[in-house]
Structure 1
């Protein structure tokens, strides 16, 4: 018992994991949870000295391997830096539900925040059948009428969006969707929050190139010319104990390779 209490917990965990399926040749020792910092709760399988030294060596080898982060990355994020669309802007929506007063929709470019299209905003003509104008699941451009950022209300119109607005919105959305899928794949592959990736890479590319899609086309053949110019600010404590701001590259080699 005293011997076990002196061991690193990582070694004990490794031993228990390896031996829990073959416990018939071992005696058991019940101990209090707080005897091992509350980490072992039921029983400990006690091995022979030879077996324990063998498992100890395996545990040491495992402890030298890189530890994978247990943090699950957040892969949900809007496509643009602005959290809400601007008034008189065409946005791509998907119809989620049809209620008594209108249709509830998700704004696909803004992380599926909710908006509403009143029935009076479906068509300039007299409405004979709502189902002929809007259906659950349909994806289409609409115009933003009002945005209440405090309450989260977004009023939309289908009848006020022009053909030119529809064409421009569809073109922008298709580019943004491609950029988003690449960013999401990189975030998932590297275990990075998607919004962090957008803050350091995606949104700066929107500022510089008008749309990140244009930057991504260049990255295919010449990634360094695009990615090496991106920087971010980090705060550190200097030798004098004061907080200082440093400018460092925004893109690591790992992220660059993934992109």
Structure 2
């Protein structure tokens, strides 16, 4: 174990941390904790992977950044031990997202500081107000990108600050979920094609944070695509559109079938 200065803050037991590998030895690796002023901690070889390890550098290399879990903290002696093998895939993913949010949020606030000519105390005050509602500064910018600046109305921010946040939020690519289905529609009437076109047009467009698009595949098939900020909203909009189409087509003595297709993540703006 590695001794760390008593005057420096230590991480908590079980905490997931980002580290930079400092030195690899035959019995483990010395790393620095990125979020704790680069304090040094230790990753023992037994906590790198299960089974026998022929070459430690297959798992960790000098200067590499990685995600580890705190498995022992001795406040009295200021010692910290870490584990790689105890970190789950979900924990690693969540930590990386957290770090990226922190970095992006800090970058946005630096831009606003320069743009508005604010000092550090003014920026800190803004961050404290944002923290009343959001876990991460970046989350406020993302919320504005998705729903507009009205989401900040309760935070008592100056108009110039809200305007600056809105301007920076436009740089964010909002991920959206896309759900699709293949429709088979027939209406055996003289004006059947017009009926189908009118029914499909009635469900197209943007509504309730979702967007519905319908494309012609080839008689009698059409593809309906719904894009929304998350799967729940997209799925609800798709089901409502399909039900409306089905009811309208059957009222006109037509036939209606649909087949769900694979959903996917996109960066399409609604």
Q: What range is the shorter-chain TM-score in?
A: 0.3 to 0.5
Tell me the TM-score normalized by structure 2: 0.46
Tell me the TM-score normalized by structure 1: 0.47
